[in-house]
Chains A and B, each alone.
Chain A
Amino acid sequence: MAEGKVLSFQDLILTLHAYWGKQGCVILQPLDMEVGAGTFHPATTLRALGPNAWNAAYVQPSRRPTDGRYGENPNRLQHYYQYQVIMKPSPANLQELYLGSLVEIGIDPLVHDIRFVEDDWESPTLGAWGLGWEVWCDGMEVTQFTYFQQMGGYDCKPVAGELTYGLERLAMYIQGVDSVYDLKFNDAGVTYGDVFLENEKQMSKWNFEVADTEKLFRWFKDCRAEYDQCIENGVPLAAFEQAIKASHTFNLLQARGVISVQERASYMGQVRDMAKGSCEKWMEVNGWAA
């Protein structure tokens, strides 16, 4: 594309911050823990529960160890950014607000073909599901748009609307580049590759080859034990952090290829139990009925 001024990667983020800030969202900073998706941020997961209104937007670095390609694939990364918006209750004009954000970052809907294509979202790990769409721009999925119906196994009362933009993909599209590493990070000549290529190489190596699996197994167990302690002592936010840690540790073990198919279900079950247990406790300490 490229009509008008083309946004750098960082300006894309700043533009979205300014836009959603104006819509009443609190602009948060990323969760300082490894997560697979922005939805794991307690600002989404836990705030989706209970009756209180909540509007927030933030960037969330997301780590998916098995997606690492040692910096050799132009589209796949083991660490990338999601832009996450959550509005609760879902405003009646959420679609219009979202489309407004696309115009803001330079996508003219009378030049580009924007479509809402059915895509229901489900996270067994979080005991969560919702209905919505993947939003297509000229055939490319640029955003996941979901109305949360359940979280942690609880009905969302009220329902929150969640938007998740794939920032690298969107930026590649806006800037018209074929490799993520060629993205302009700013307008002063720094590329995405300058910032992250070495990181992708080293982290792919660590994820796939180096990470000490014995320690990982131990960490997982420790997270589980610490989680139990947190629940007993009535601190579900801390318990949820242990669930997040366990989840990422499990992902690392997957990348190392040391979890058999049989064990896989059991590990996933443990993570699910921890996530759901945290939600349950969170409901309880807040005095919210299911």
Chain B
Amino acid sequence: MTDFLLEIRCEEIPARMQLKASDDLARLFTEELAKAGLKPASIDSFVTPRRLALIARDLPLETAAVSEEFKGPRTSAPAQALDGFLRKTGLRQDQLEDRDGVYFAVVNKPGRATKDVLAEAVPAVIRAFPWPKSMRWGAASQTTESLRWVRPLKGIVAILGEDLVDIAVEDVRSGYATLGHRFHHAGEITIGGADDYVEKLRACHVIVSHQERQAIISTKADEAAAAHGYSVIEDKGLIAENAGLTEWPVPLLGDFDPAFLEVPPEVIQLTLRINQKYFVLRDASGKLAPAFICTANIEAKDGGVAIIAGNRKVLAARLSDARFFWEQDRKTKLADHAQKLERITFHEKLGTVADKVERVAKLARWLVEEGIVGASAPAKAGAQGDEAQSGHGLLPSQEHKEELADLAERAARLAKADLVTEMVGEFPELQGVMGGYYARAEGLPDAVADAIRDHYKPVGQGDDVPTAPVTVAVSLADKLDTLLWFFMREMQPSGSRDPFALRRAALAVIALLTKSNLRLNLRMLTTRIIAAMGVIENNQRSSDRAARDEVILKGSHIPKHIHEDGDVMAAFRSSQAAVDEYIALEFPTGSASLKDRFSGFEVQFLDFFADRLKVQQKEAGVRHDLIDAVFALGGEDDLVRLLARVKALQSFVATDDGTNLLAGYKRAANILKKEGVETAEAISLSYTPEQAEADLLAALDVAEPQAAQAVAAEDFEGAMAALATLRAPIDAFFESVTVNDADPAKRTTRLALLARVRAAVHNVADFSKITG
């Protein structure tokens, strides 16, 4: 047994790719060896900016000899069959064995020298290497067939025990020689083998282990910070990145002018981290410290004085820029910045960002006025216990509502203004955050500043979900507007393509609604958008007065108001009845009503939300079949209510009553299915029922209305409890009553009884979708 060392040296590998590349090398190498039946006892992986390396432990010097036996045709088979078998095995006829009239081939594969296996495996690994981006270089790139690697490949060290494994990839040949640190060690180093690799390189200022470099950076940065009374703000990604930029990491601390600290800390942090890859420090009180730690790649002759001086200067220039932006941006009010949004296209089919802001502002206001956001009464759905009930009935005063609506509209109008500021131009990731700062700086109310800051949230799973009413109104309006209009213009996601991140937006809407228990009827929203579409179309051909008047004449006075106002939001402000009436009208230019023309949009939009909800619930660990059971009822367009139902169902099926009721339901449903009974008919008794029959009927008479009532009151636990009372009577019914009675009257009645059981259960969920 012996060890194998492989080092693949190239020009600087991007830091972000190194760890994955290191894993890929170990994996591909193991796979290649496995093909030859070799398996090292272990693999140690190393990676630096200039080399990928591994040591495979305890390889045999030869692969094991293998003997394989193949069964062939009968000796009496036609000649072609025998020829085929000989071709397949590579043997001659006289080498076959005849066993009871059947040919057998025994193929002995002798063991191979591991060195030979390696000489083939390594080039195969190199050629198949999955770099995220690779390139050609040098004279060989005369053709596009030349070797691709992440950056030019420079050298290969491949030593099995002490023997060189001869490998050639393009013009790179393996050898014992490698290079040390780019600046600390001139000339080649000769490696003896796996045992001296790590230490020989260390002696030449290269720490080959990524993990060790990370540990050095982490420890030394902490020490340097502590020496100044600071602490490093933990940033594992940055440690790994710096370990990927150095072969000999030397953290160095420098300071910057404390006057820069007037710039918001997020800006300073980003400048340090993103632009300069510096660690950010905190002082004893937890505030940002006017200092940074950079990670040099050399043990400088002057102890790092020049490096720190250079880095300080670069940082000062960057922070000066940031401070300039901070000062410059505040000279203009957010409302004035917002004017410039007219110049930015949101989407060619959806107008400018200014257009979007206008829609979002109105939608945010509507969400508050409609009582969807900001009502202090808790939503009924899923309400449990006294705590949730305590606010019930305390509707906000009209005055409070108006105030909230004003704030929401105001915040929405300013929410995107920071997109045109210099700071966000420089640091796009600070969108929202900067708007929040600028809003506060010009003295806007905290609720507005907070809403501007947080209205992009939640961004993805795990992000904070806002609950402040003004923020929620703006955030919801922003995302709903995006979703509705992209769907309206037929730009919905398909398959893996979701270029406008609509799925994420929908998940954010779900999170916002459920977090604050907000009751939003999605269907109402879609009908209003359809109505708004009519208004837009009408505006576009407003010159056609006659056509327009014709529509108005056809409708009642309220649709006329929607139409004449020429304002998209008129559709939102109108009553649901008026909206319904309006979109059912036939427009003179098109034969179909708005409702007919856009019914596809409505269906797609609601289905899309249902799908998102399913995905989200599945990820939250809710049983897939229970979600289906509730969704199968259809017609639910209130997400909060839907989730409350799923939740109640999940608790119920976990109980004894639930399990047994489910069993009873399934038995009933199976019989009904076999008999082709689809609906529940009224039951008229023409005979004296058996006791169990009468009991079930009585139980149904109580439970059915109870369940229906509880569902109407959105008390799903109550509905489940009502169903639970059916359990015993159903069990008894199946115990003592024969459904398939010879008397057709009895049989029909009993089937009807079972149909009622099924219908009662379906009040709550389609139990047929529940498995087990």
Pairwise interchain contact B11-A260, C-beta atoms closer than 8 A:
no
Given contacts A95-B11, A139-B276, A261-B345, contact A110 B183 (CB under 8 A): yes
Pairwise interchain contact B141-A89, C-beta atoms closer than 8 A:
yes
Given contacts A90-B137, A110-B184, contact A140 B144 (CB under 8 A): no
* Proximity string of chain B (138-171) to chain A, C-beta cutoff 8 Å, 1 when within and 0 when not: 1111111000001110100000000000000000
A-side contacts of B144, CB under 8 Å: 155, 157
Give A142 to B36 CA distance when docked, in angstroms: 49
B-side contacts of A92, CB under 8 Å: 138, 152, 154
Give A261 to B419 CA distance when docked, in angstroms: 14
Asked if A222 is at the interface of the complex by the 8 Å CB criterion, the answer is no
Enumerate B123-147 residues with CB–CB distance to A below 8 Å. Answer: 133-144
Given contacts A112-B306, A116-B11, A260-B343, contact A158 B133 (CB under 8 A): no
**8 tightest A-B CB contacts, nearest first:** A138-B310, A118-B14, A116-B12, A139-B311, A159-B141, A113-B296, A158-B141, A131-B135
Interchain nearest-CB distance for B463 vs A (Å): 28
Instruction: State which of B221-229, B297-305, B361-369, B540-548 sits at the interface with chain A.
Output: B297-305
Pairwise interchain contact B183-A262, C-beta atoms closer than 8 A:
no
A-side contacts of B345, CB under 8 Å: 261-262
Residues of B within 8 A of A (CB-CB), count: 51
Pairwise interchain contact A138-B137, C-beta atoms closer than 8 A:
no
Cβ contact of A111, chosen from B246, B300, B344, B352, cutoff 8 A = B300
Pairwise interchain contact B142-A89, C-beta atoms closer than 8 A:
yes
Cβ contact of A157, chosen from B14, B142, B182, B352, cutoff 8 A = B142
Asked if A120 is at the interface of the complex by the 8 Å CB criterion, the answer is yes
Give A138 to B278 CA distance when docked, in angstroms: 12
Interchain nearest-CB distance for B304 vs A (Å): 8
Pairwise interchain contact B141-A116, C-beta atoms closer than 8 A:
no
Pairwise interchain contact A149-B135, C-beta atoms closer than 8 A:
yes
Pairwise interchain contact A1-B138, C-beta atoms closer than 8 A:
no
Closest to B16 in A: A118
Enumerate A67-105 residues with CB–CB distance to B below 8 Å. Answer: 74-75, 89-92, 95, 99
Asked if B357 is at the interface of the complex by the 8 Å CB criterion, the answer is no
Given contacts A89-B138, A138-B311, A159-B137, contact A1 B306 (CB under 8 A): yes
Given contacts A131-B135, A155-B144, A159-B136, contact A140 B183 (CB under 8 A): no
Pairwise interchain contact A138-B142, C-beta atoms closer than 8 A:
no
Asked if A171 is at the interface of the complex by the 8 Å CB criterion, the answer is no
Residue of A51, A111, A113, A158 with most chain B CB atoms under a 10 A cut-off: A113
Interchain nearest-CB distance for A122 vs B (Å): 11
Give A74 to B309 CA distance when docked, in angstroms: 18
Pairwise interchain contact B133-A131, C-beta atoms closer than 8 A:
yes
A-side contacts of B15, CB under 8 Å: 117-118
Interchain nearest-CB distance for A159 vs B (Å): 4
Number of A-B residue pairs having CB atoms within 8 Å of each other in the complex? 123
Asked if A109 is at the interface of the complex by the 8 Å CB criterion, the answer is yes
Give A71 to B426 CA distance when docked, in angstroms: 21
Closest to B254 in A: A139
Pairwise interchain contact A147-B306, C-beta atoms closer than 8 A:
no
Asked if A165 is at the interface of the complex by the 8 Å CB criterion, the answer is no
Give A95 to B179 CA distance when docked, in angstroms: 14
A-side contacts of B313, CB under 8 Å: 140, 173, 178
Give A91 to B139 CA distance when docked, in angstroms: 8
Give 17 pairs: A residue, B residue, CB < 8 Å, sorted on A: A1-B306, A89-B139, A92-B138, A110-B301, A111-B302, A116-B12, A116-B49, A117-B245, A118-B14, A118-B15, A138-B314, A139-B311, A147-B137, A156-B141, A157-B143, A159-B136, A178-B317
Closest to B252 in A: A113
Pairwise interchain contact B142-A158, C-beta atoms closer than 8 A:
yes
Interface of A is mostly: loop
Interchain nearest-CB distance for B130 vs A (Å): 16
Interchain nearest-CB distance for A255 vs B (Å): 15
Interchain nearest-CB distance for A96 vs B (Å): 9
15 new A-B contacts, CB < 8 A, other than A111-B307, A261-B352, are A1-B309, A89-B138, A89-B139, A89-B142, A90-B152, A92-B138, A110-B301, A117-B15, A131-B135, A131-B150, A138-B309, A139-B315, A147-B136, A159-B137, A262-B345
Asked if A133 is at the interface of the complex by the 8 Å CB criterion, the answer is yes
Asked if A205 is at the interface of the complex by the 8 Å CB criterion, the answer is no
Given contacts A51-B142, A138-B306, A139-B310, contact A110 B136 (CB under 8 A): no
Asked if A137 is at the interface of the complex by the 8 Å CB criterion, the answer is yes
Give A161 to B151 CA distance when docked, in angstroms: 12
Asked if B675 is at the interface of the complex by the 8 Å CB criterion, the answer is no
Given contacts A113-B297, A116-B12, A133-B12, contact A139 B133 (CB under 8 A): no
A-side contacts of B315, CB under 8 Å: 139
B-side contacts of A113, CB under 8 Å: 294, 296-298, 300, 307, 310
Pairwise interchain contact A158-B138, C-beta atoms closer than 8 A:
yes
Given contacts A138-B311, A140-B314, contact A110 B343 (CB under 8 A): no
Asked if A114 is at the interface of the complex by the 8 Å CB criterion, the answer is yes
A-side contacts of B184, CB under 8 Å: 110
* Proximity string of chain A (140-151) to chain B, C-beta cutoff 8 Å, 1 when within and 0 when not: 100000010100
A-side contacts of B301, CB under 8 Å: 108, 110-111
Asked if A256 is at the interface of the complex by the 8 Å CB criterion, the answer is no
Give A147 to B134 CA distance when docked, in angstroms: 11
* Proximity string of chain A (238-254) to chain B, C-beta cutoff 8 Å, 1 when within and 0 when not: 00000000000000000
A-side contacts of B11, CB under 8 Å: 95, 116
Pairwise interchain contact A158-B139, C-beta atoms closer than 8 A:
yes
Pairwise interchain contact A131-B151, C-beta atoms closer than 8 A:
yes
B-side contacts of A112, CB under 8 Å: 300, 306-307, 310
Give A112 to B298 CA distance when docked, in angstroms: 8
Closest to A140 in B: B314
Asked if B100 is at the interface of the complex by the 8 Å CB criterion, the answer is no
Cβ contact of B307, chosen from A99, A138, A155, A178, cutoff 8 A = A138
